Chain A
Amino acid sequence: MKRIGIDVGGTNTDAVLLDGLRVLTTIKSPTTPDVTTGIKTALAALIARAGPEMREAGAVIIGTTHFVNAVVERQRLNRVTAVRLCLPASSSLPPFVDWPSDLRELVQQDTILLPGGFEVDGREIAAFDDRLMEDAARRIADSGVEAVAVSGVFSPLRGDHELRAAEALEKFCPNVSVTLSRDLGRMGLMERENVAILNAALARLARVTTKGFREAIAASGLDARLYLTQNDGTVMSAEAAERAPVLCFSSGPTNSMRGAASLSGVSDAIVIDVGGTTSDIGMLVNGFPRQANGVVEVGGVRTLFRMPDVLCLPLGGGTRVHADPLRLGPDSVGYRLTELGRVFGGDVLTATDLGVAAGRAAIGARERVADVPSATVRWFEAAVASMLENGIESSKTRAGDIPLLAVGGGSFLIPPELKGVSEVLFVEHHDVANAVGAAMAKISGEVDQIFSDVGREDAIRTATALAQERARDAGADPGSIETIEIEDLPMAYMPGNSRRVRVRVAGELADV
């Protein structure tokens, strides 16, 4: 199946047409404040270049930072009522308690705590109270709030109380968008609830954005299904993304890593994406980015859910090189590189200028850096190598030398030989790796559950079967589903030799 991948970045919107894993056409166009127009323009440019082949594309897959930017910028969010099923437990720290005050004021409508939730062994903390839930649902309907986030104690283990709350909300306030914490987050009530509230706060924007994307596709005359890429390097249908916009938060680094894997054919490697201001370093394991295990703050809110583990270093093409004493960054001229950089006629010495002086790239006017002393060039190369080697060592998951995939506009800054690296691979089409990563993304299923009194093998087998079922339900071709990640953490203090098992699987998009 031919697919179109689109990456909506801060500066550029990149689009590629792929046949299988083969890159047919690529284009770059500027990102517009209104995302839809940018996508229309990108699709039009791609059609102009690729010709009739474009009509065969069965899927358009979009990676966007639109949703995470809305949270970071405190823009375009709707208000949310948080319902927590927990009483008599967990009432001391109410929903929104650790949010930055500006975001809380913008988002918090109401908080409602009700009896319910579960113990770690699956018993009810208290029975679900239909009557109190009905009262709450009526109060929500009367308030006119657009979205509700429902959380329950230990809902990743047993989610039935959250589901009963959803039924009541559907009945008494059918027009309110409902997010259940069990669908998005992991163990840890506060962080999971925060994820659910952020998701609910994006309900309106998600609806408007996916509608805009669909319109852009229709306006281009394509008959293609729409998918959005998510944090773990897989895709979800536009309908699923509309319900779970938080899962798109970290599409950028994820797509560039997935694209690097596809373009190089290497599935276990370090990936470094060198942009204008920073370098993102991540680990590819079985072709997917390794996931972060701990708390990740988004816009000042603690969250714990699927996010890639990415290390960000202050090295980009626009990073300034200071003299007396010689110092690399951390400041950057950013998108003004092509105006301020020496080789472009400006008078700021940047990493790109040093890269040109070192003969790493032929960009701009080389004679404009002829006066840079060779000692400075040697210092620069050593400084870059040491910064990257340190970052690589921190990102590795095992000992030994591994391949490095170099992508992004500034990837020429990466030295061809580095400690801890078996070989540095500069991949073709590296400047549109994000869009390629979007186009080739698979569809996934995940399980994160505590097992008690079950052996390791049985626990993993049960979790894997459930994850496969979830991937199939999400639209994966059953024959192509593979296990991407298995994590198994024994837990102290818990009854009956407990272990927490996390399994992720993914498969190709099924032809419909």
Chain B
Amino acid sequence: MTITIDLDTLRALGMGAAVLSAGGGSFPYLEHLCTANFMGDRTVELCSADSLTRDVRVALVAMVGAPLVMTERFLDADHFVKPVHELEAIEGQPFDAIMGYEIGSMNGVIPVLIAAHTGLPLIDADTVGRSFPQVHMSSFALAGVPMTPMVLCDVRNNSVLLRETVDGRWTEDLLRVITTAFGSVAACATSASGATVIDHAIPGTYSRAIRIGEAIFGAQKQRADVIAALLDAEGGIELGRGRIVDIVRETTDGFVRGTATINDASGETVRVHFQNEYSVVMRGEEIISTVPDLLCLFDTQRGEPIGTESLRYAQQVAVVSLPPAAAHITPRALAVLGPRGFGYDFDYTSPHQTGYSL
């Protein structure tokens, strides 16, 4: 079934992308507004990855940099479509479709803007299925697919072509230097073949985000329990509900690490550890759910996901674990995306495997 993204679907997508960011961000207000204004009556066709032929040419797009800077330097259609056109010029062939690199928060919405601008369809897939803090955690990087050639553009007439990099770590390091020089916001595009997308992308992530957003807005409209609607729509499991009684944060190596402690209604203490995104949920001393499970905190009063930066003392929250993408729980993926990949000394634990319930 093809989905057509119009203004209602776009709004649902923005909310779903906030949930899938797993604490990496909240509803991308400005990016949604910019995209909605650009689209007007236009629509974007969402096509499934398995409907592609292996020889189509796909442009992978993203904003690379500091989300905070986007609150001052707004998303701009011409700026973000530029690396796509430059890659076409470099490679001498037009693209057939657009794909988002990472669905989480604003990077879930930006590819819609680019698809609307170019008139190309958007692929219902990405390479992360959520938000992860580092480039080498994408499904393409895990499969050893090169991320080059990559074009990065700033809002002036600067553009950089990364023709070749040794590996994902080098890509990450070079991206940081270039992005910082650009003012901590870069529009980024790489090219991929239909074959690469079919073999290595994480499928169905856009329709998943839209489904999540529609469940949330639907429940809000009927004044029903948003969390229940989400669990129902996504096969999620609630791991606790109560007030935040403590928050600790510290910055190391460009990451905000910390812990939110929640007094669960049962009297048990629930701890949620985060590293830019939520990474581990514990009840008492027991580890219940870890990355790559999709962990989310919801503000139960407003019925909306909360990013790690917006956590506050005394907020009334629900802790939810959504099932991870199938591609994230292969032994090879778990070595990078499981808790050990984030520096913890324990293995992947998931209520979706143990059948845990409160």
A residues neighboring B (CB under 8 Å): 86, 88-93, 97-98, 117, 119-121, 123, 125-126, 153-154, 187-190, 293-294, 393-399, 489-495, 497, 499
From known contacts A188-B72, A398-B313, infer whether A88 and B155 are also in contact, taking CB-CB under 8 Å. yes
Complex contact A90–B33 (CB within 8 A) = no
Complex contact A492–B76 (CB within 8 A) = no
Given A97-B37, A188-B71, 15 extra CB contacts under 8 A = A88-B156, A89-B79, A91-B74, A92-B76, A121-B184, A126-B156, A154-B72, A189-B71, A189-B74, A190-B30, A393-B314, A396-B314, A397-B314, A493-B66, A493-B68
Shortest CB-to-CB span from A386 to chain B, Å, is 15
A-B contact pairs, 12 of them (CB 8 A): A89-B73, A90-B72, A90-B73, A92-B76, A93-B33, A187-B72, A393-B314, A395-B314, A491-B251, A493-B67, A494-B254, A497-B254
Could you mark each residue 225-269 of chain B with 1 if its beta carbon is under 8 Å from any beta carbon of chain A, else 0? 000000000000000000101100111001110000000000000
Is B77 positioned at the interface, with any CB of A under 8 Å from its CB? yes
Complex Cα spacing A225 to B276, Å? 51
Complex Cα spacing A120 to B72, Å? 9
For chain B, the bracket of interface size reads 35 or more
From known contacts A123-B183, A495-B180, infer whether A97 and B250 are also in contact, taking CB-CB under 8 Å. no
Chain B hits for A395, CB < 8 A: 314
Chain B hits for A394, CB < 8 A: 243, 301, 314, 316
Is B3 positioned at the interface, with any CB of A under 8 Å from its CB? no
Complex contact A125–B155 (CB within 8 A) = yes
Shortest CB-to-CB span from B35 to chain A, Å, is 9
B residues neighboring A (CB under 8 Å): 30, 33-34, 37-38, 65-69, 71-77, 79, 155-156, 180, 183-184, 243, 245-246, 249-251, 254-256, 276, 301, 309-310, 312-314, 316
Complex contact B72–A153 (CB within 8 A) = yes
Complex Cα spacing A92 to B36, Å? 11
Shortest CB-to-CB span from A397 to chain B, Å, is 5
> Which of B34, B69, B310, B312 lies in contact with A93, CB distance below 8 A?
B34
Shortest CB-to-CB span from A399 to chain B, Å, is 5
Complex contact A493–B254 (CB within 8 A) = yes
Complex contact A494–B66 (CB within 8 A) = yes
Shortest CB-to-CB span from B176 to chain A, Å, is 8
Shortest CB-to-CB span from B227 to chain A, Å, is 18
Shortest CB-to-CB span from B69 to chain A, Å, is 5
Most buried by A among B183, B246, B301, B313: B183
Most buried by B among A154, A395, A492: A492
Shortest CB-to-CB span from A161 to chain B, Å, is 13
Complex contact A187–B76 (CB within 8 A) = no
Chain B hits for A497, CB < 8 A: 251, 254
Chain A hits for B75, CB < 8 A: 92
Chain A hits for B245, CB < 8 A: 399
Shortest CB-to-CB span from A125 to chain B, Å, is 7
Chain A hits for B256, CB < 8 A: 490-492
> Which of A91, A153, A493 lies in contact with B76, CB distance below 8 A?
A91
> Which of B183, B250, B310, B313 lies in contact with A396, CB distance below 8 A?
B313
From known contacts A125-B155, A187-B68, infer whether A89 and B251 are also in contact, taking CB-CB under 8 Å. no
**Please, which residue of chain B has its CB at the minimum distance from the CB of A392?**
B314
Complex contact B183–A90 (CB within 8 A) = no
Complex Cα spacing A499 to B184, Å? 15
> Which of B34, B183, B254, B316 lies in contact with A121, CB distance below 8 A?
B183
**Please, which residue of chain A has its CB at the minimum distance from the CB of B245?**
A399
Complex contact B313–A92 (CB within 8 A) = no
Shortest CB-to-CB span from A110 to chain B, Å, is 19
Shortest CB-to-CB span from B342 to chain A, Å, is 14
Shortest CB-to-CB span from A130 to chain B, Å, is 20
**Please, which residue of chain B has its CB at the minimum distance from the CB of A87?**
B155
Complex contact A495–B184 (CB within 8 A) = yes
From known contacts A92-B38, A490-B249, infer whether A293 and B312 are also in contact, taking CB-CB under 8 Å. yes
Complex contact A490–B71 (CB within 8 A) = no
Complex contact B251–A492 (CB within 8 A) = yes
Chain B hits for A495, CB < 8 A: 180, 184
**Please, which residue of chain B has its CB at the minimum distance from the CB of A488?**
B249
Complex contact B250–A153 (CB within 8 A) = no
Shortest CB-to-CB span from A327 to chain B, Å, is 17
Chain B hits for A399, CB < 8 A: 245-246
Chain A hits for B246, CB < 8 A: 399
Complex Cα spacing A294 to B309, Å? 11
Complex Cα spacing A393 to B243, Å? 9
Shortest CB-to-CB span from A151 to chain B, Å, is 10
Complex Cα spacing A120 to B179, Å? 12
Chain B hits for A91, CB < 8 A: 74, 76
Chain B hits for A153, CB < 8 A: 72-73
Shortest CB-to-CB span from B204 to chain A, Å, is 28
Chain A hits for B73, CB < 8 A: 86, 89-90, 125, 153, 189
Chain A hits for B183, CB < 8 A: 119-121, 123, 125
Complex contact B184–A494 (CB within 8 A) = yes
Chain B hits for A126, CB < 8 A: 156
Complex Cα spacing A398 to B243, Å? 11
Most buried by A among B72, B255, B313: B72
From known contacts A119-B184, A491-B68, A492-B256, infer whether A92 and B314 are also in contact, taking CB-CB under 8 Å. no
Complex Cα spacing A123 to B181, Å? 10
Chain A hits for B312, CB < 8 A: 293
**Please, which residue of chain A has its CB at the minimum distance from the CB of B310?**
A294
Complex contact B33–A187 (CB within 8 A) = no
From known contacts A187-B68, A394-B314, infer whether A493 and B74 are also in contact, taking CB-CB under 8 Å. no
Complex contact B255–A492 (CB within 8 A) = yes
**Please, which residue of chain A has its CB at the minimum distance from the CB of B66?**
A493
- The 7 A-B pairs with the shortest beta carbon distances in the complex, nearest first, are A490-B251, A493-B66, A119-B183, A89-B73, A90-B74, A92-B76, A188-B71
**Please, which residue of chain A has its CB at the minimum distance from the CB of B312?**
A293
Chain A hits for B243, CB < 8 A: 393-394
**Please, which residue of chain A has its CB at the minimum distance from the CB of B316?**
A394
Chain A hits for B66, CB < 8 A: 120, 491-494
Shortest CB-to-CB span from B211 to chain A, Å, is 27
Chain A hits for B250, CB < 8 A: 490
Shortest CB-to-CB span from B51 to chain A, Å, is 31
Complex Cα spacing A153 to B243, Å? 37
Complex Cα spacing A124 to B183, Å? 10
Complex contact B77–A92 (CB within 8 A) = yes
> Which of A397, A494, A499 lies in contact with B313, CB distance below 8 A?
A397
Chain B hits for A397, CB < 8 A: 313-314
Complex contact A92–B34 (CB within 8 A) = yes
Chain A hits for B38, CB < 8 A: 92
Shortest CB-to-CB span from B42 to chain A, Å, is 15
Chain B hits for A293, CB < 8 A: 312
From known contacts A394-B314, A398-B313, A493-B67, infer whether A189 and B77 are also in contact, taking CB-CB under 8 Å. no
Chain B hits for A98, CB < 8 A: 33
Chain B hits for A121, CB < 8 A: 180, 183-184
Chain A hits for B67, CB < 8 A: 493
Complex Cα spacing A126 to B73, Å? 13
Chain A hits for B314, CB < 8 A: 393-397
Complex contact B316–A189 (CB within 8 A) = no
**Please, which residue of chain B has its CB at the minimum distance from the CB of A294?**
B310
From known contacts A125-B155, A125-B183, A399-B245, infer whether A499 and B251 are also in contact, taking CB-CB under 8 Å. yes
Complex Cα spacing A190 to B250, Å? 28
Shortest CB-to-CB span from B229 to chain A, Å, is 23
**Please, which residue of chain A has its CB at the minimum distance from the CB of B80?**
A92
Chain B hits for A93, CB < 8 A: 30, 33-34, 37, 74
From known contacts A89-B76, A92-B77, A93-B34, infer whether A187 and B313 are also in contact, taking CB-CB under 8 Å. no
Shortest CB-to-CB span from A316 to chain B, Å, is 21
